[in-house]
Amino acid sequence: MRRMIFLCLLLAFSTAVTAGDDYEAEIDHLLQFVATSGCTFHRNGTDHSAADAADHLRLKYRRAGKYVGSAEQFIDRLASESSWTGKPYTVTCAGVTQPSGEWLYAALTTLRDPAVSH
């Protein structure tokens, strides 16, 4: 009986750890997506390269990651607007400018379901 309880607890713990790792893997994917996008990021009135934008978001995540428990929270709390000015971030890809949050949500949707194309 004890062995069964132990195995159930072990399974529950490993499932919780795996679930926790999933959102971190998704955030890592989003950061890589940003870095390799070739798009221009607009933050507080200044244009930034894709690599610089990814570095900035990594820094924000390192500093405030404890407030993030999902890829959605990463997008909403760290990757959509300046934490200093409150101004929204935008991204320009192939001549089209859009809010960075919308762009990242589309990338997250595609990651989770590759059959969905944006």
d(CA 101, CA 103): 5
Residues (pLDDT < 50) of the chain are 2, 4-20
Is 58 buried (19+), middle (13-18) or exposed (0-12) by CB count in 10 A?
middle
Token readout for 20 is: 């926790």
d(CA 60, CA 62): 5
pLDDT at residue 38 in the model:
98
Report the residue count for the chain.
118
Handedness of CA 24, 93, 88, 58 (dihedral sign): positive
3-state DSSP assignment of residue 94:
coil
One-letter amino acid at 17 equals V
- Beta-strand runs (E) in 3-117: 40-43, 46-48, 90-93, 96-99
